[in-house]
């Protein structure tokens, strides 16, 4: 397909190949292996398993190839790899490129923090967590010679926006690759590769899957950087099943329309909550008084479906508010068609001690919302009744 197709067209047509029976999409090749007419044909396939179907764990399966072409087209990357989970994608990138050490700069998903601060050091690898307040002194932080720098923007759970171009320059000055976790934004709202990132990772479990019914991950970027990542995916057995790949491909066809509603609903809710007396602060980059609003306007097309509220009162009050919600399901994920609520201190950042949480701006009364596709007025009414009931 032509590379200049616009985003909604790419969502639907990218990655497809002509089917002998006229199927509009590459079907689910639900097999573990592929046979050959003779040994010479097998040897040719084995020499290029990234292009010819051979063995599904290697990722060499037509259904997996198709969703990878689609993912690459959506991020504007040369190539993509799909994984069985977002954490599988992030781990494989670290294994492939992080021999010199891995640094996470700013806030990030708790699983990424755990990987870098505990799992990699357990193998003897250097892992470093740079706090959000160290951004100004980034060159000093990165001078230790890390192989990989990871950032998440917008960040989890405070929705801080980091300057991808500026961090990429600092990472490159220090000889590191910049990997951006763009899960919160989705490729509809932001394309980090175009802003200077070397690789983009997504928990495809979230907006890319979009229905809370699949677990997957993705990495997009130049083929040369993805080749060693594919090697780790193969040996660690991190490839998703063909059914999951096909379900993800199905979901990507509606990504653009879903994100438009996520964006609009979250903006409406952020504006409504900004004036609520029980809400001390709304963390949403689409609000003009968000500290990173100007930067967000420069590097994002829209601001996404995630927002956090810091409530007045105490932890018990925040818990009472969450428990009083009727439409928002209390569940630790995001990006589905249904609205979810979570308290980061109970879920994604439960393993951090109090001092570290404070330095990351994650308070006990912080409530994170994943705004779904319901009617915005119904969601606002639900939040208002829960805040009233919680007192
Ligand atoms: C921003 C972000 N990155 C990565 C992950 C990990 O994704 P997965 O649960 O698909 O492994 C998550 C999970 O919540 C996340 O929120």
Q: What is the DSSP string of 267-318?
A: HHHHHHHHT-TTEEEEE-TTSTTSTTHHHHHHH-SS--SEEEEEESS-HHHH
Q: Could you tell me if the CB of 190 is within 6 A of ligand 1? A: no
From ligand 1's centre to the CA of 34, what distance in Å?
32
Residue nearest to atom 10 of ligand 1 (CA): 86
DSSP 37: S
Are 339 and 348 contacting, i.e. CB atoms less than 8 angstroms apart?
no
User: Which residue lies with its CA nearest to atom 9 of ligand 1?
Assistant: 86
Ligand 1 contact, 186 CB (< 6 A): no
Whole-angstrom Cα distance, residue 82 to residue 65?
9
CA 385 / ligand 1 centre spacing (Å): 30
Long-range pairs, 31-35, Cβ under 8 A, ≥24: 31/56, 31/61, 31/242, 32/56, 32/57, 34/60, 34/61
Specify the pTM. Answer: 0.96
From-to residues of CATH 3.40.640.10 in the chain: 7-251
The CATH class of 7-251 is alpha beta
Quote the tokens at residue 52: 């010819």
Which residues are part of the catalytic machinery?
Answer: 57, 109, 181, 206
Q: Measure the CA angle with vertex 258, ends 81 and 83; round to 5°.
A: 15
Fold for domain 256-388? Answer: 3.90.1150
The length of the chain in residues reads: 391
111 lines ligand 1 (CB under 6 A): yes
Q: In terms of C-beta density within 10 A (0-12 exposed, 13-18 middle, 19 or more buried), how is residue 312 classed?
A: middle
Please list the residues that pair with 104 across neighbouring strands: 129, 150
Query: CATH 3.90.1150.10 residue ranges in the chain?
Result: 256-388
In the reported structure, the alpha carbon of residue 203 is separated from the centroid of ligand 1 by a whole-number distance in angstroms of: 5
**Under a CB-based contact definition with an 8 Å cutoff, are residues 157 and 362 in contact?**
yes
CA of 248 to the centre of ligand 1 (A): 15
Per-residue pLDDT of the chain (391 residues; tens, 9 = 90+): 445 789 999 999 999 999 999 999 999 999 999 999 999 999 998 998 888 899 999 999 999 999 999 999 999 999 999 999 999 999 999 999 999 999 999 999 999 999 999 999 999 999 999 988 888 889 998 888 899 999 999 998 999 999 999 999 999 999 999 999 999 999 999 999 999 999 999 999 999 999 999 999 999 999 999 999 999 999 999 999 999 999 999 999 999 999 999 999 999 999 999 999 999 999 999 999 999 999 999 999 999 999 999 999 999 999 999 999 999 999 999 999 999 999 998 887 887 888 888 888 899 999 999 999 999 999 999 999 999 999 8
- Kindly report whether the peptide bond that precedes residue 154 is cis, defined as omega within 30 degrees of 0: yes
* 258 touches 250 (CB < 8 A): no
């Amino acid at each position: 397909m032509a590379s200049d197709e616009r985003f909604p067209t790419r969502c639907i047509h990218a990655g497809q190949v002509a089917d002998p029976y006229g199927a509009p999409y590459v079907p689910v090749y639900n097999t573990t292996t592929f046979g050959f007419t003779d040994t010479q044909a097998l040897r040719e396939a084995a020499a290029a398993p990234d292009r010819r179907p051979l063995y599904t764990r290697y990722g060499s399966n037509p259904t997996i190839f198709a969703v990878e072409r689609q993912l690459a087209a959506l991020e504007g990357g040369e190539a993509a790899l799909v994984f069985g989970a977002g954490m599988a994608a992030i781990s494989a990138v670290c294994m492939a490129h992080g021999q010199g050490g891995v640094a996470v700069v700013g806030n990030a998903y708790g699983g990424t923090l755990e990987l870098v601060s505990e799992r990699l050091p357990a193998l003897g690898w250097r892992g470093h967590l740079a706090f959000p307040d160290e951004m100004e002194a980034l060159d000093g932080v990165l001078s230790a010679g890390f192989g990989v720098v990871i950032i998440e923007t917008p960040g989890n759970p405070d929705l801080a926006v980091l300057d991808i171009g500026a961090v990429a320059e600092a990472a490159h000055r220090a000889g590191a690759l910049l990997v951006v976790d763009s899960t919160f934004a989705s490729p509809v709202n932001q394309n980090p590769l175009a802003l200077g990132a070397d690789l983009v990772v997504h928990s495809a479990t979230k907006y890319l899957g979009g229905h809370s019914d699949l677990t997957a991950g993705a990495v997009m970027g130049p083929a040369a950087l993805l080749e060693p990542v594919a090697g780790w995916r193969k040996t660690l057995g991190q490839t998703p099943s063909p059914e999951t790949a096909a379900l993800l491909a199905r979901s990507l066809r509606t990504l653009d329309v879903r994100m438009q509603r996520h964006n609009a609903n979250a903006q409406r809710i952020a504006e409504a909550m900004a004036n609520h007396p029980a809400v001390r602060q709304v963390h949403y980059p689409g609000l003009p008084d968000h500290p990173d609003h100007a930067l967000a306007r420069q590097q994002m097309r829209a601001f996404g479906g995630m927002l956090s509220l810091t409530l007045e009162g105490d932890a018990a009050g925040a818990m009472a508010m969450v428990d009083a919600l009727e439409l928002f399901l209390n569940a630790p994920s995001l990006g589905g068609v249904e609205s979810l609520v979570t308290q980061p201190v109970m879920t994604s950042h439960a393993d951090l001690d109090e001092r570290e949480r404070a330095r990351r701006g994650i308070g006990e009364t912080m409530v994170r919302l994943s705004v779904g596709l319901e009617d915005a007025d119904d969601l606002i009414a639900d939040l208002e009744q829960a805040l009233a009931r919680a007192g």
